[in-house]
C-alpha cells in the first residue's frame, strides 16, 4: 500500500507544533474541537503560515447545525478571505438544507470565494440522507476530498459504508475517514484502499478547579499529543 497521509486537526498553536513534530502530513486548523471544530482566529491562521505542510482551515462560524443564514454566509466569506490572506492551502466547508441534503447554492457561493484553494467537504456529509448522491454533488462542486465517518459515530463503525463510498469515488475524489481513528482502531479500516486519514491524536488534560468553577472552560479538555501523532504515523506505515 502506498504511503497514507495523516491529517491532524488542531485548535491552538501548541497543538499545531505537536502535530508537526509528530509527523502529520497535513493540518486541519480549527478552534473549539470539543464542539466539532469552529473557525480559528486570524492570529492562529498566521501562526500556521510557516508550518511547512498544507494547512486546511475550518470554516464554521458557530456550533450546531450546518444550515447557514445570510449573516453566517457573510462571516464565512470573510473567514475564507482571512485564510487566503494567511497563505494557507485550503478550507474545510459544509452546508446543509433543512432535510439534510447538501446546500449546493450556498456551497457554490463559498467555493467561488475560495477559488484556487484546496477544498474539503466536512462531516455535514454524514447527515445527508443519500450519501451516494451527496458524493456525486461533492464531485460536481469541485471538492478534493470528503471527511466522513461513513455516517456512523466513528470511522471504524462506518467502515463498510466507507468501503462503498471509496469504490464509488474511485480516483475522482478522496474519501477521508475520520472520527475515532487511533492505532487501536486502525485494524478495522485496514481492508480499505486508504489514501488519507483524519484524527485528533489527542489526550485528556484536567483543568484547574477554578477554571471550571468560574466557567472559563470544561473540567477536562483534549490536547494534541505529539506521541499520539507519532504512534498513528507509525501504525499507518505498517499497514
Each domain of the chain, given as residue ranges in start order, spans: 5-237
Give every strand in the sheet of 145-148, ordered side by side.
174-177, 145-148, 118-121, 90-93, 55-58, 26-29, 5-10, 196-199
Task: Answer whether residue 1 shows pLDDT above 70.
Answer: no
CB–CB of 148/126 below 8 Å? yes
pLDDT at 219 over 90: no
**Each residue's pLDDT tens digit, 170-209:** 999 999 999 999 999 999 999 999 999 999 999 888 878 8
At the fourth CATH level, the homologous superfamily of domain 5-237 is Copper homeostasis (CutC) domain (3.20.20.380)
Confidence of residue 126 (pLDDT cuts 50, 70, 90): very high
Q: Which residue's entry shows cell 488542531?
A: 10
Predicted TM-score (pTM) of this structure: 0.95
SS3 113: helix
What mean pLDDT do residues 98-122 have?
98
Amino acid at each position: 500500500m502506498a504511503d497514507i497521509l495523516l491529517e491532524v486537526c488542531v485548535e491552538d498553536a501548541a497543538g499545531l507544533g505537536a502535530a508537526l513534530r509528530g509527523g502529520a502530513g497535513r493540518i486541519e486548523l480549527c478552534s473549539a474541537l470539543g464542539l466539532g471544530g469552529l473557525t480559528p482566529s486570524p492570529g492562529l491562521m498566521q501562526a500556521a503560515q510557516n508550518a511547512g505542510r498544507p494547512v486546511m482551515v475550518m470554516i464554521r462560524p458557530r456550533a450546531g447545525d450546518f444550515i447557514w443564514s445570510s449573516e453566517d454566509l457573510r462571516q464565512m466569506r470573510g473567514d475564507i478571505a482571512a485564510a487566503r490572506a494567511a497563505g494557507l492551502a485550503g478550507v474545510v466547508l459544509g452546508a446543509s438544507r433543512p432535510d439534510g441534503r447538501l446546500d449546493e447554492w450556498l456551497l457554490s457561493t463559498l467555493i467561488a470565494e475560495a477559488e484556487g484553494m484546496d477544498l474539503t467537504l466536512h462531516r455535514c456529509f454524514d447527515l445527508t440522507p443519500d450519501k451516494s448522491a451527496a458524493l456525486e454533488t461533492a464531485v460536481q462542486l469541485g471538492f478534493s476530498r470528503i471527511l466522513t465517518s461513513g455516517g456512523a459515530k466513528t470511522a471504524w463503525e462506518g467502515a463498510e459504508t466507507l468501503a462503498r463510498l471509496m469504490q464509488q469515488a474511485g480516483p475522482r475524489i478522496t474519501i477521508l475517514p475520520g472520527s475515532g481513528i487511533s492505532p487501536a482502531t486502525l485494524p478495522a479500516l485496514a481492508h480499505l484502499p486508504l489514501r488519507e486519514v483524519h484524527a485528533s491524536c489527542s489526550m485528556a488534560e484536567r483543568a484547574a478547579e477554578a477554571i471550571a468553577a468560574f466557567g472559563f472552560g470544561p473540567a477536562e479538555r483534549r490536547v494534541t499529543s505529539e506521541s499520539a501523532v507519532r504512534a498513528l504515523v507509525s501504525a499507518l506505515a505498517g499497514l
